[in-house]
Amino acid sequence: MARPNTPAPPEKDDTVRPSRGKFRGMTTLWDISPAVHPGSPVFPGDTPLRQHWDATIGPDSAVNLSTLTFSPHIGAHADAPLHFDPQGAAIGTLALEPYLGLCRVIHAIDCGPLIEWAHLGAAVQGALPARVLVRTRRKAAVDHWDSRFSAFAPRTLEYLADLGVRLVGIDTPSVDPADSPDLPSHQVLRQRHLRVLENLVLDEVPAGDYELIALPLKLTTADASPVRAVLRAL
């Protein structure tokens, strides 16, 4: 496929303008994070959620207190460069700006194994926000592991980076196929300094522009972090 003509990326306007709806001060929120619980699916080999109760309310304790053990790639999460680069930055050291601001949700439902540039269509014409989330599934696999998911073609990520995109998101477990041995799309993220969100739930979100809020935890040695990702109407 021929590379599309892409002009130099324009200056990104991250100004979030309030909705002009009937009820001033009220905006619609979409929660795009799956519920996280002991049955939440994880990538094969990752640690599922385990919860141990260290104390429970009763004669010997005034509080409930638990310990959680899980992979930071469970549920909606942000990968750090450290995940795919031995010299990469940990998630808690990254700037927060890419995870907060204007974004575009693009539907590429049933696109097949890879999201090619053609699947994004008119949604990437003209001015593009610095954050792009792609819906590939009719219904997110929130209660079981499914290895037959869509991932990004590396050149699609290259084209988005050329247009000034700083963060990409997807409603599947990874930007690379489950059986990919060398993770070429993750390597594009590294090379182009793109941030990424995986395992989003976009089932109820119409295509269009929103404000994204998906801040990772300040885990200063971790390769990823869960996020509570939400979209807010503009």
Residues classed as catalytic: 83
Class of residue 219 by CB neighbours under 10 A (exposed 0-12, middle 13-18, buried 19+): middle
**Plot region of 148 (φ>0 → left; ψ -120 to 50 → alpha; else → beta):** beta
Q: Which two tokens stand for residue 155?
A: 């050149």
Hey, how many other C-beta atoms are within 10 angstroms of the C-beta on 175?
30
Question: Closest Cα partner for 223 from 192, 198, 188, 191?
Answer: 198
Distance CA 119, CA 127 (A): 18
